[in-house]
Amino acid sequence: MNKNEAELLNLPADPRPDVPDTASDSDRSLAMRDAAIAVPGRVYDIERSLLRWLLDALGDPAIRFVLWNGEEVYISPGRPVARVHIRDRAALMKITMNPELHFGETYSAGRIEVEGNFVAFLETLYRAMANARPRGFGQRRLRRARYRARANSLNGSRHNIHHHYDIGNDFYRLWLDDQMQYTCAYFPTPDASLEQAQIAKMDHVCRKLWLKPGDTVVEAGCGWGSLARHMARHYGVTVRAYNISAEQIRYARERARAEGLDGQVEYVEDDYRNIDGRYDAFVSVGMLEHVGTDNYGTLGEMIHRCLKDHGRGLLHSIGRNKAAPMNAWIEKRIFPGAYPPSLKEMLEVLEPGGFSALDVENLRLHYAKTLEHWLWRYEKAADRVRGMFDESFLRAWRLYLSGSLAAFTSADLQLFQLTFARRHNNAVPWNRAYLYRDGGR
């Protein structure tokens, strides 16, 4: 990350300009067309008006926009946290038409630059949007611009997962921990290392599942397989772990063989919908985001079919306080088919099998800290990422990781761990002491 993106600027605030926005929808479209073919270096009144309209619709974030001729536009009464440089007229048109989608597109292409702390800029933007008042045309237009998520059918899920996870294990090795865990870590203390926190996360999950030697466990969406190996090695269980990412399954099998665990852990390259057998415990860490609410009933029926009468389960998922679509740019470019559910929506998974929710924990700030570690490692490896792919890819994933961090610190995203059991199961923990006794295991 360059100096401009890494340092918070000390910028003076402008008085809020009193410029009414009176253009109708049709007038605005015509004006945008005419402005787009005008002299590139000149800034027209309609362009200033469009940018002020956009800032107003986004909730007046404390952000100063700098147009291609050096002119600045700023309407918030607060002190600006960053400058956003719009390099050309077409970029302005795009972010005005659909800011949620096209900011990521134009930033990745280098047609927008952020001067100031990148994460602080995104936090400011997210908080302003969350507090934005309904303002007629502007808010309606932003809602209409929502991107439709791709389906998570059997074939659709394979395509969606391949898009994100099969871009190369060497890329993920650059910035994940040595166990290749791509989900929220658990920090027993704020100064724990990423490696320590990821091991602590796996123990935290295992304790919540009350694992004991001889248990059978099924895992839906196992990533690179670290949790399955950890459960087998440290808790004496046998695990069948499912995943539809060919790259991840290949890595997991090789590592299990190298560690002498292939007799206890079986990695299956298949969809969660095809899980069979009967198990003492079900676990899913970081997969529910890829299922889609239309398939929650199917997931719940599978768990009901496969979990023994005394069985217990855990769902670990990015979520929201209130149902809302995935960010359009992330859904299109980074995580196709992704949807972080609300807690209410997560509970829909339990209904088909008549399961009882036992406990819910929100690890939002733990995910923020996890992302701090990932982003720091990613920036250290920036030259290697650029060499593997290109500048646009480097910038896209910088935006994705930074935006995710900002979404957790601004509370736009949550991280829920939900444990459950069959409703008639009375052999459940009396309190939470078992989670912390003797350091965990």
Two structure tokens written together for 8? 């918070």
**Going along 178-235, which residue ranges are E strands?**
216-220
Q: How far is CA 329 from the centre of its chain?
A: 12
What per-residue confidence (pLDDT) applies to 7?
39
Query: What average pLDDT values come out for the chain (441 residues) when binned by 10 residues?
Result: 40 31 38 46 91 92 95 90 96 94 96 97 94 60 50 54 68 96 96 98 97 98 97 98 94 97 97 96 96 95 96 97 92 90 97 94 98 98 96 97 97 97 92 77 54
d(CA 125, CA 95): 14
Closest alpha carbon to 161 in 252, 242, 97, 80: 242
What per-residue confidence (pLDDT) applies to 138?
47
Two structure tokens written together for 338? 């992704």
In the chain, list all ranges with CATH 3.40.50.150.
154-439
In the chain, list all ranges with CATH 3.30.1050.
3-144
Question: For the structural domain made of 154-439, what CATH number should be given?
Answer: 3.40.50.150
* Domain range 3-144, its CATH number among 3.30.1050, 3.30.70, 3.10.20, 3.30.1490: 3.30.1050
d(CA 200, CA 186): 6
What per-residue confidence (pLDDT) applies to 441?
54
What per-residue confidence (pLDDT) applies to 165?
56
Residue with tokens 């401009």: 4
